[in-house]
Each structure stands twice: as C-alpha cells, then as structure tokens.
Amino acid sequence: MKPLKVLFLCSEAAPLIKVGGLGDVAGSLPPALRALPEKPDIRVCLPLYPAIKNLDLDLIPTASFELVHSSGPVLAEIYQGVVNRVPFYFIDGSLIASSRTVYSGDNYQDGLKFTFFSLAAMELARNIGWKPDIVHAQDWHTAPAVYNLHRVRKKDDFFLGTRSLLTVHNLPYLGQGAEPALAEFGLPAARGSALPEWTSRLPLPLGLLTADKINTVSPGYAREILTAEFGAGLEKFLMTRREDLSGILNGLDLESWDPENDPELPFNYSAAELKDRAKNKTQLQEEIGLERDPHQPLLAMVNRMDAQKGVDLVPDALRALCNHDWQAVILGTGDPELERSAKQLANDRPQVAAILKYDDSLARRIYAGSDIMLIPSRYEPCGLTQMIGMRYGCVPLARATGGLKDTIIDYHSSHREESTGFLFNQAAPRPLAKAVLRALDVYKDQRRWRGLQRRGMKADFSWEKSASKYLDLYNELSELELKIENL
Ligand code: ADP
C-alpha cells in the first residue's frame, strides 16, 4: 500500500518558532509520524515569518502563484526545506512578511495572514501536483483550509479524494474578529447550518462544521467540550458532530525533557538515583532567594499568567496555609493583575519567590528542584507542565479537568499503587488549599513520596504512542466515503 500523504498546516512549529503547546505538537508529531513503520508522507506548511528567514535553513524556491482577494491578486511564494527529517513548505507573501510576531492580538490582521496562508497551502498542493489524502489543520488559524476544501471539492477533481482533520488545541479561541478577512478572500458565511448564527462567519466554527473529522488534544477535553461549561457556546452544535469527534493525548518530547541529560540542571539524575535530585533543590533555593533547606516541601508553578490556568487561586490558597511548613516558587508572565498579586504574595511571605518572566532554563531547574507542581487550571485541553513535572520527579497537583485528569492518577483514588499525583475538583482557593494539605501530609512519609515520584518518572508520555493513534485516525479518514450532502 502506498504511504498516506498528509498536508499538516500550522501557525507555529518548534524549534523554528513557538508560542505555546501548539508549537510543541507541530514540532514533534510530524517527525514521530514519519518514524512509524508505515512511514506516512507527512509534509508541514508553515508561514515564512521574518524570524524564520533569519535562520540558517537551506530553502529552495518551489512555486509562486496569486490568490484572489477583494482588493486584487496577492502573490504567494513557496520555499521548501527539511526540518528534523520532515519536508517543510514555507509560505511567503506580503501579509506574512509584514508580521513581526506569530499572533499580533489583532484578529483581523491575523485573519488576513492566516486565511492567505491556509488558501496558499491548498493551492500549493495543486500547483506541485501533490494530492494529499489528508489535510490536517490546527485551531482557528488554519481552519479556513478545511472550509475551503469542503467548498472546492464539490467542483474540483483534484481534491475529490482529500479528507480533512481539524485539531482543536484551545476551543474558546474561535478567531473572533477575523470574519471580514475570510470574506475578503472569498469565504462566505455558512447559511442554514447547525452552527449558532453568531458563529457562522468565524474560522474555527466554519472548520468544525465542515471538517471530515475533528479531534482535540486529550480524550477528556473531547468529552468536556460537549458541555456548557467548556463548549464556548458551541456545545449544542458539537453534539451534532460527536460521532466524528475524538481526543488524542499530546506526547512529550522525551529528548528535550530528560533529567538524565538536561544541560540546564546542576545535577542530572534518574528515577533510580533520586538522591542526586535533592541537590538541585538546595541549589534552586539559593538561586531564587529562598532559605536553603532540603526538608522544606517546595511548591512550584510554571505557567502563563492567565485566568485559564487558575493562577488567581494560588495566592489565597497559600495564604490560608501560612501555618504550615512549605516554600513556593512562581514562574510566569502574562496578565498584569495576576503578576501583581503573585509579586504581592512574595513580598508578604519570605517563603515565596515570584519570578515574572519567560525563562526556559530556570523552568527546567524548577521542575528538577521542586517537590509539587501546582496546576489549578480552569480548563486544560492537554497541558504539558504535569507531564514535564512527572518526568522530572516533581509531583503534579492539579485540577481534575481535561488532559490533567487523563494523565494524573490521584493518590487518594482507589488506585493508590498506581498514583502519580493529586487531583482536586472545584476551581476555588479552599479546595486547592485542601489538596496541598493532602500532598504535604504524604510528603512527610518520604518512602511513599519516592514511590509517587518514581511512578510519574516512568509514565510513558512518548509521542510514538500518540503518533500511532493519529495514523489510525488518518487511515480511518482516508477510507471515509463522503456523504452525498457533503458534496
Ligand atoms: P499552554 O500551551 O496552554 O501555555 P502547556 O502546559 O501546554 O500550556 O505548555 C506550557 C509550556 O510553556 C511548558 O513547557 C512550560 O514549561 C512553559 N512555560 C510556561 N510559562 C513559562 C515561563 N514563564 N518560563 C518558562 N517556561 C514557561
């Protein structure tokens, strides 16, 4: 059988350009797929951002053509390169060349850039005569490609056999503000569809309406988005698509996140040598200005400062625990109000350090030197910090939601012998504080604690497992007969 041809569209891809978890997925999943025995021919499309032009990539000019826009034709220029053994197509054009950051915060401008990119990626496939079996889009930015495919395959033989998959990495980001941009590139509103009227021009809903299959980045989140609490107003519509909706947990880049070989750590260690881990803790306490004491349980939070992450619950929860022995380190940047309240806590309490910046190297030393990783997210499509925490022996304490619930086995559940962390239910300071108390109690028994750490360190979060699930989904899609009403 011929290998499947997959065109993978994304707005960011590590290590070239990364803003968040989506960048990690786009950087890791395609090479993991290519490494499978079936060797699917997956090729990645990425905007040629100015920051990428400055990298030392051997780019080969591959194609150029024009796209139709309401104010005149727009030139697209395509270059080819190879990153981590995966063929990449980089798409350039005036809308991309003028963008200084991946996301500008102005969704009209971003809508123009990403709609141009999405349509150019499809046109590229035709231009080079490479018929993809699957177009795999991510989030609202590349959802216009899915909507466009649905429209063109009605009349265009080239794409007749192509199926689409849309992965939702963060549902509430529907692409609000991008509506006129889609219209300017000739993508109309959906009329008389199952979508709520207010979403009928938005890129992500249009993609969700027309994708042959939809998936999210954890099975738990796939179920949650069918409810009013997590559905962003689309839950009723999503119920109409539940047969085509699934969840595949993201993997972790085990090479990059490896306490045995991480060059940023003062002392490397493995599950078998947890004694060496303790030396990282005292070094970290010194680095961030906390009292040097290997016996104090050290709580940590490494996060975007955003309401999604429940960062606002932490100061109140920790204040309620001030009669107990612990230290805490908060590393994060984002919402100024949340930053201010973390800083205030650190000013009031000598056992708290708040470092308000993005610092990958320090984050690694925090994972390696802290005992408990706090992740009180209100919602979490997948989440990486719990997986990194486990891999580094920093036991996660998280809200039981989405990917967090899928990856952490609670110590107080009926599976104590398999447990890897602590879960709590309600997004409020008291339940969080109570969960911390439970964890502190277990921490007092170091034998039990080491069991928790070792089980987490041995958990399998490899991309290989997730990549085979994606391949199964691609195969299922490629065999999918289109229903008459979809044509
Ligand atoms: P999201 O993609 O929603 O931000 P994830 O948990 O999927 O959340 O991924 C967050 C990633 O960003 C993790 O690798 C985490 O270590 C990293 N990170 C978050 N904030 C910081 C920070 N201030 N400094 C360094 N790394 C950070």
pLDDT digits (tens, 9 = 90+) for 109-164: 999 999 999 999 999 999 999 999 999 999 999 999 999 999 999 888 999 999 99
Predicted model pTM: 0.94
Give yes or no for residue 332 CB within 6 A of ligand 1: yes
pLDDT digits (tens, 9 = 90+) for 311-348: 999 999 999 999 999 999 999 999 999 999 999 999 99
Give yes or no for residue 385 CB within 6 A of ligand 1: yes
**Closest approach atom of ligand 1 to CA 385:** 6
pLDDT value at residue 20: 82
Instruction: Give the Å distance between the CA of 220 and the centre of ligand 1.
Output: 20
Asked whether 7 and 135 are in contact (CB, 8 A), the reply is: yes
Instruction: Give the Å distance between the CA of 24 and the centre of ligand 1.
Output: 10
Give yes or no for residue 14 CB within 6 A of ligand 1: no
For the chain (length 487 residues), average pLDDT per consecutive 10? 94 93 93 97 98 93 98 98 97 96 96 98 97 98 98 92 97 98 98 96 98 98 98 98 97 93 97 92 97 96 95 97 96 96 97 96 98 98 97 98 98 89 98 98 96 96 95 96 60
Q: Whose CA is nearest to atom 19 of ligand 1?
A: 303
Instruction: Give the Å distance between the CA of 439 and the centre of ligand 1.
Output: 23
Give yes or no for residue 310 CB within 6 A of ligand 1: no
Give yes or no for residue 358 CB within 6 A of ligand 1: yes
Give yes or no for residue 251 CB within 6 A of ligand 1: no
pLDDT value at residue 485: 53
Give yes or no for residue 233 CB within 6 A of ligand 1: no
Which of 384, 391, 392, 394 has the most ligand 1 atoms within 8 A of CB, as the residue to mutate? Answer: 384
Print the SS3 string covering 344-410: HHHHHCCCEEEECCCCHHHHHHHHHHCCEEEECCCCCCCCCHHHHHHHCCCEEEEECCHHHHHHCCE
Give yes or no for residue 256 CB within 6 A of ligand 1: no
Give yes or no for residue 363 CB within 6 A of ligand 1: yes
pLDDT value at residue 93: 98
Q: Which of 54, 25, 55, 59 is nearest to 42 (CA)?
A: 25
Instruction: Give the Å distance between the CA of 190 and the centre of ligand 1.
Output: 36
pLDDT value at residue 483: 63
